[in-house]
Amino acid sequence: MATRQAIVSLFIFLVFNIFLLAVCHAAKPSLETKVSALNQFSTNNNGVVELDSDLYDEFVAKPRNYSMIILLTAMEPQINCLPCKEFDPEFRLVAKSWQWSGNDLSRLYFGSLDFKKGREVYAKLHLNNAPTMFYFSPTTGPYAKEVSEPDKYEFNRRGFSAEEFASYLSGHVGIKVPVKRPINFFAIFTTIFIILGTLAVIKLIFSFIKKVFQNRNTWAAISLVIILMMISGHMWNHIRSPPYVMSNNGQISYIASGFSNQLGMESQIVAMMYAICASSMCYLMFHVPKIEDSTKQRFGIYLWTGILVGTFSFIFALFRIKNPGYPFRLFI
Amino acid sequence: MKVLGLDTQNLSALLKVVILGLIAAVALASRLFSIIRFESVIHEFDPWFNYRTTRFLVANGFYEFWNWFDERSWYPLGRVVGGTVYPGLMVTSATIYNILRTLNFTVDIRNICVLLAPLFSAFTSVAAYLLTSEIKDSSAGLLAAAFIGVAPGYISRSVAGSYDNEGIAIFLLLFTFYLWIKALKEGSAYWGALTALFYFYMVAAWGGYVFIINLIPLHAFTLILMGRFSSRLYVAYSSFYILGTLMSMQIPFVGFQPTRTSEHMAALGIFGLIQIIAFVEFARSYISSNQAQILFKSFVVLSFVGMLSGLVLLTLGGYIAPWTGRFYSLWDTGYAKKFIPIIASVSEHQPTAWPSFFFDLEMLIFLFPAGIYLCFKELRDDHVFLILYGITASYFAGVMVRLMLALTPVVCVTSAIAISRLFDIYLKLDDTDKDNTSAKNNKPAIEKSNTSAKSNKSAIEKSSRKGDASRSTSSSTSKSSEKKKKSEQFRILGFDTRILVITNFFFFLVIFTWHCTWVTSNAYSSPSIVLASRQADGSQYIIDDFREAYYWLRKNTDYSSKVMSWWDYGYQIAGMADRAVLVDNNTWNNTHIATVGKAMSSSEDVAYQIMRRHDVDYVLIIFGGLLGYSGDDINKFLWMIRIAEGVYPNEVREVNFFTPRGEYRVDDEATPTMRNSIMYKMSYYNYNELFGGQGQDRVRGARIPADKIKLDTLEEAYTTENWIVRIYKVKNLDNIGRSLEQAGAFELGKKKRKRVKRAN
């Protein structure tokens, strides 16, 4: 009986010991288990380790003999984080390319933590915007770096493209991180089809196209449209990409304040005004003088002069909004 | 009919000369605001370099100038001035100076430099007159001259004192274009050679000559595509290209670029193409079978494709330099911001919002499309040129504010064509009487017959190359079209409508001149080294801090001292203070500029090392906080950081200068990196003492942190009246080998702390 009791107590002791061991493992897993877990996670999921708060703490904890880039994102539809959605495929593309690059995969891991699963991390890091991305450099092993702070990826400066992200990683890890965009066969076929279709259409209506192509009015229209776009600040819009209109407490404003600032709609309004002025000039020069009937001609001249003066004074008014110190005006 | 003993023709010639003279006088006079308000002084930044080199040229002669190595800029690298400068401007003023000297007018070289741009604007209006009269008629020419004389888009770069390349370059641009149109019309090598000569002058004067050497080939190419190849085009283009290229290679700064860089390849390619086409045309006149025609055509197309692919291969192989960053950024507009922040940082390289167009051109901006439409109505060779010029220049002006300058001439010319066309129609009184149209005694009729004669001539010339067979038919069609034109003659029936339109446009023109004068006087006439403000009682208050500081440097520092400042002020320091500088507005060495940026944005100990290594004696910064002068160094600081980060990405980080919420602040919430940078420290050093509490920064609307700023390695040497310029002296190493921080602590009477010792 005594022996049996001893056996039971030994068994309990053993179980307890194993349990203790397991607890210890859970609290502080060894580097090898971490790496093997990472390897498993990443190979199963095209190179991206989907994290939650616990996993985040585990993989980020020192020591690390690997680099880790962690994207803190928010893909839930109710949060409606457009940049997150924009960057996510690019991030996964780089991760996948890394998987197939033939490099030593244990050098770098890609982690992604969604807001849904990692509120604690967001709270701990005092993050209130997504996406945010941190690079953790290895602390032990041959590639260890002395830097202890994780490096934050600057989305504002570098943007969302996979190429830029990969070059950032290459700089930090020290090996070239490739980007292999998958070949989009569908897009290629559609392009070929469209080109062939267009060529066929061109062949069919060649005489008509030739007529249009050689018509000076076509070219006049193209040139005038280009010029009107340019002189009304299209290139500014193209480079600075301002909002089309601005809504301020429910009120939509079409005009931006400030001399060297404009909205997308605003430049279109201005282009339209210029076009009206220029065409009323042209009507006064070409159309009206050809009218044989004197009453009709008189009416035409008064009409176009009126339109010209009205539009021009509107341009003046618009300009006075942009430049309040401007002293001149025309009627309004 | 005779007036003053002159017949009408002579009288109108006299009138034209008088009017043109008056326009030139107005163009010159409206640029003198800054002299009257301030004084005869060189403006801004680049002009100071041009002024300095001109003085050198006048003092030492051309030979010395050509070989000048300037060891007082870009210390310690120096700069080969003779080989890195467009000498046209300096040589022009030196020539004027020497001519006046020989005539015993002892004019100061500074006054010549100050007045050179207004003088050349007067010439520009004459060039605009010539170009426009060549394209339409002399009344349009006079209008164009008047427009360009006062258009703010051009005045912005040519007021008295703005002694810069653009001041003479716009005249050269327009005059070269005039000569090109003339050469193309006459088909003469004489005019072609003259075009090349003025092109050479343009190359010597301004880097914008690239615009000419691409626009003229584009014109030639378009004419070829339109099937308007002619012997006139061949002669004009070939003579222009060969002579122009050979001459342009004489400028050391240009050198072999015309054969080695992509910017010039279009011209070379068109030159080759035009030779092939000329040969084919020649051969075609002997062989007339249909198959041969097809063969010739495909030969031309094939050789064009071959040349193009050869060019691409050579570029890829590295034999031809690709487009340089400055020009490339005009196409790929995001390029500069990413790769060459130093180009993107310049305010005049920003894109243009619509108010700037209106501000610089006012009513002309909508007459411009109308004029272009008019060009399409007639579409002779010279109209094609105007159209191409208009499209390209409006694109460039949209991309860069600075290139508004290149757009202004074509806008003036096309608007003048539009307005004068309108006046032709609405002022022609005898139009109702159809018989009088042929009468030669009124001016518009003469002009009209002239132009129709010209177009007839060109039609005949065009037909001459087609051979005799087609000749008769083509001339008969041109006659019939003329008849048709007569039947469609424009006429205005009512008198009241004429009055309406004429008064309306007269009024528009009056507003235009008001606008131009207002803009010139208010926006473009400030020398920017002397500022003016109004006091409460309305009297003018002159802020002369810049010159005060530079003069202090000149008088109180050793001649061999080196001054470190941001590159914007390099030329001014070299010109006014006559001290060596580390970097200046030439910006040829990005790394050197980044080093200065790094010094400015680092903490004292890092910056001190950099400054010692570069032998810096004084640091000069611009601080606008007291006065509310927004163009100061704290506002430019982000660019310094950005440029420094481009070269030293591990040592300077832009993010560290932003608060966690992404704001750029100077008050209590400023980041530690910001507050430790010597730029911040130098800007606000002793600033709180001025207020006797917390200082108020009037530019950024912020309160400066209350704790006292300590500077160990720098000491304040001079601060100007309004605190705009602050000069610091870099301390020497300590006499007894302590670090300067320790010495500073000792001076303050503090005991050496153990912690400091351990750090050593």
The pLDDT, as a whole number, for residue B453 is 43
Pick among A145, A213, A214, A235 to test the B interface (most B CBs inside 10 A): A235
* In the predicted structure, residue B723 carries a pLDDT above the cut 70: yes
Task: Provide CB contacts within 8 A for A32, sequence distance 6+.
Answer: none
H or E segment to which residue B531 belongs: strand B531-534
Residue burial B266-303, b: 16+ Cβ < 10 Å; e: rest? bbbbbbebbebbbebbeeeeeeeeeeeeeebeeebeeb
Q: B385: Cβ–Cβ under 8 A, 6 or more apart, which residues?
A: B177, B180, B181, B184, B219
pLDDT at B465: 41
Query: Is residue B519 over pLDDT 80?
Result: yes
Q: Which range among A60-74, A269-283, A314-328 shows the weakest confidence by mean pLDDT?
A: A60-74
**Distance from chain centroid for Cα A233:** 24
Domain chopping of chain B, boundaries: 170-296, 545-759
Question: What's residue B10's pLDDT?
Answer: 87
Which residues of chain B lie closer than 8 angstroms to A234, CB-CB? 398
- Judged against a pLDDT cut of 60, whether residue B476 lies above it is answered with no
**Token duo for residue B570:** 């390099």
| A67 vs A28, higher pLDDT | A67
Residue B580 has which token pair? 């060596």
What pLDDT sits at residue A18? 57
Burial class (CB in 10 A: 0-12, 13-18, 19+), A45: middle
Confirm or reject contact between B654 and chain A (CB < 8 A): yes
Residue B213: pLDDT band with limits 50, 70, 90: very high
What pLDDT does residue A45 have? 79
For chain B, how are helix, strand and coil distributed in percent, rounded to 5? Answer: 65, 5, 30
Among the partner residues B366, B368, B500, nearest to A305 by beta-carbon distance:
B500
The most confident of A65-79, A113-127, A235-249, B611-625, by mean pLDDT: B611-625
Average pLDDT over chain B, rounded to an integer? 85
Tell me the CATH number of domain B545-759, given options 3.40.1380.20, 3.40.50.300, 3.90.1200.10, 3.40.50.12610: 3.40.50.12610
Q: Does ipTM exceed 0.90?
A: no
Minimal CA separation from A237 to chain B, in Å: 8
**How confident is the model at residue B758, as a pLDDT?**
46
Which of A228, A236, A289 comes nearest B351 by C-beta? A236
Say yes or no to pLDDT of B1 above 60: no
Neighbours of B152 (CB within 10 A): 21
Considering CB atoms only, which of B353, B366, B496 is closest to A262? B353
From the list A224, A239, A284, the residue facing B373 with the nearest CB is A224
pLDDT at B9: 85
pLDDT, tens digit (0-9, with 9 covering 90-100), for B661-681: 778 888 888 888 888 899 999
B493 to A219: CB separation less than 8 angstroms, yes or no:
no
Q: Which DSSP string do the residues of B550-619 spell out, in sequence order?
A: HHHHHHHS-TT-EEE--GGGHHHIIIII--EES--TT---HHHHHHHHHHHHS-HHHHHHHHHHTT--EE
Angle made by CA atoms B379, B268, B406, in degrees to the nearest 5 = 55
Mutant choice from A214, A218, A276, A281 vs B, greatest count of B C-beta within 10 A: A281
Q: Using one digit for the tens of pLDDT, what is the confidence trace for A109-143?
A: 888 888 888 888 888 887 777 788 888 888 877 77
Asked whether B559 and B611 are in contact (CB, 8 A), the reply is: no
DSSP B503: H
Please indicate whether, in this complex, the C-beta atoms of B333 and A235 are within 8 angstroms of each other: yes
Res B706: pLDDT: 83
How confident is the model at residue B470, as a pLDDT?
40
CB contact under 8 A, B390 and A157: no
Cis? peptide before A131, omega within 30° of 0: yes
Q: What distance in Å separates residue B393's CA from the closest CA in chain A?
A: 9
Length of chain A: 332
Q: Is the pLDDT of residue B327 over 80?
A: no
- Cβ within 8 Å, pair A231-B351: no
- What local confidence, expressed as pLDDT, does residue A148 receive? 66
Nearest-Cα distance to chain A for B354, in Å, is 5
A99 CA: distance to closest CA in chain B (Å): 28
- What are the φ/ψ torsions at residue A158 (nearest 5 degrees)? -90, -25
Two tokens, residue A6: 């001893």
Which residues 425-444 of chain B have a CB within 8 Å of chain A? 425
pLDDT over 90 at B143, yes or no: yes
Mean pLDDT across B700-721:
87
B723 membership: H or E segment, kind and range: none
Whether B359 has its CB under 8 Å from any CB of chain A: the answer is yes
**At CA B25, angle to CA B21 and CA B31, rounded to 5?**
150
Whether residue B732 lies within 8 A of chain A, CB to CB, comes out as no
CB contact under 8 A, B504 and A234: no
| Nearest CA distance, A52 vs chain B (angstrom) | 25
Beta bridge partners of A247: A252
Nearest to B501 among A239, A282, A301 (CB): A301
pLDDT at B460 > cutoff 70: no
- φ, ψ (nearest 5 deg) of residue A113: -125, 120
pLDDT band for B515, please (50, 70, 90 cuts).
Answer: very high
Alpha helices in A76-214 (DSSP H): 82-99, 119-124, 155-158, 162-173, 185-204, 206-214
Taking an 8 Å cut-off on Cβ atoms, the answer to whether A220 and B352 are in contact is no
User: pLDDT tens digit string along A90-100?
Assistant: 888 888 888 87
What share of chain B has pLDDT > 90, as a percent?
45
Nearest to B202 by CA among B176, B163, B238, B240: B176
Helix (H, G, I), strand (E, B) or coil at B370: helix
Number of Cβ pairs < 8 A linking chain A and chain B: 163
Nearest residue on chain B to A322, judged by CA atoms? Answer: B355
Q: How many helices (H) and strands (E) does chain B have?
A: 34, 13
User: What average pLDDT does this structure show over B682-699?
Assistant: 86
For B488-507, what is the mean pLDDT?
Answer: 82
Give A247-283 pLDDT, tens digit per residue. 777 778 888 888 888 888 899 999 999 999 999 999 9
The helix/strand/coil state of A127 is: coil
**Interface test mutation site (partner B, options A149, A152, A154, A223, max chain B beta carbons within 10 A):** A223
Question: Which among A154, A262, A285 has CB closest to B655?
Answer: A154
Tens digits of per-residue pLDDT, B86-136? 999 999 999 999 999 999 998 999 999 999 999 999 999 999 999 999 999
Q: Are B598 and B654 in contact (CB under 8 A)?
A: no
Nearest CA in chain B to A308: B504
Report the first-to-last Cα separation within chain B, whole angstroms. 102
Per-position DSSP letters for A281-308, written without gaps between them: HHIIIIIGGG--SHHHHHHHHHHHHHHH
Q: Which of residues 262-321 of B touch A (CB under 8 A)?
A: none
Tokens of B192: 């072609």
Shortest CB distance from A223 goes to which of B387, B418, B501? B387
Burial of B598 (0-12, 13-18, 19+ CB in 10 A): buried
- Given this model, what pLDDT does residue B457 score? 44
CA-CA distance, B306 to B465, in Å (whole number)? 27
pLDDT confidence bin for B393, thresholds 50/70/90: very high
Tell me, what's the pLDDT at B429?
64
CA distance A66 to B562: 48
pLDDT value, residue B442: 43
| Partner residue opposite B366 with nearest CB, options A259, A278, A309 | A278
CA-nearest residue to A270 within chain B is B354
Of A157, A278, A312, the CB nearest to B370: A278
Contact B492 A289 (CB under 8 A): yes
Q: B448 versus B74: which is more confidently predicted?
A: B74
Contacts of A304 in chain B (CB under 8 A): none
Cβ distance B354 to A232 less than 8 Å, yes or no, reads: yes
Q: Tell which residue, B257, B146, B239, has the closest CA to residue B195.
A: B239
The predicted-structure confidence for B243-262, as pLDDT tens digits, reads as follows: 999 999 999 888 888 888 88
Cα–Cα distance, B42 to A122 (Å, whole number)? 58
Residue range B627-647: mean pLDDT, rounded: 87
Q: How many residues does chain B have?
A: 760
Of A267-271, B254-258, B462-466, B720-724, give the lowest mean pLDDT range.
B462-466
pLDDT at A324: 86
| % of chain A beyond a pLDDT of 70 | 90
**What is the pLDDT at residue B20?**
95
Nearest-CA distance B243 → chain A (Å) = 32
Phi, psi of B429 (to 5 degrees): -75, -35
Residue B431 has pLDDT above 70, yes or no: no
- Per DSSP, the three-state class of A152 is strand
User: What tokens appear for B557 in the block?
Assistant: 């520092």
Task: Report d(CA A315, CA A328) in Å as an integer.
Answer: 11
* Cross-strand pairs, B80: B69
Whether the bond between B87 and the residue before it is cis, its omega within 30 degrees of 0, is no
Nearest-angstrom CA–CA distance, B416 and B424: 12
Q: How far apart are CA A164 and CA A155, in angstroms?
A: 10
Preferred mutation among B335, B373, B522 to probe A, highest tally of A CBs within 10 A: B373
In sequence order, what are the residues at sequence separation of 6 or more whose Cβ sits closer than 8 angstroms to the Cβ of residue B173? B202, B208, B211, B212, B406, B409
Tell me if B333 and A239 make a contact (CB, 8 A cut-off). yes
Record: contact A312-B508, CB cut-off 8 A = yes
Confidence check: pLDDT of A216 > 60: yes
The pLDDT of B374-403, averaged and rounded, is 92
Averaged pLDDT of chain A: 82
Q: Which residues contact B204 (CB under 8 A, 6 or more apart)?
A: B86, B87, B88, B91, B251
Residue B656 DSSP one-character state: G
Q: Which residue does chain B place closest to A228, by CA atoms?
A: B369
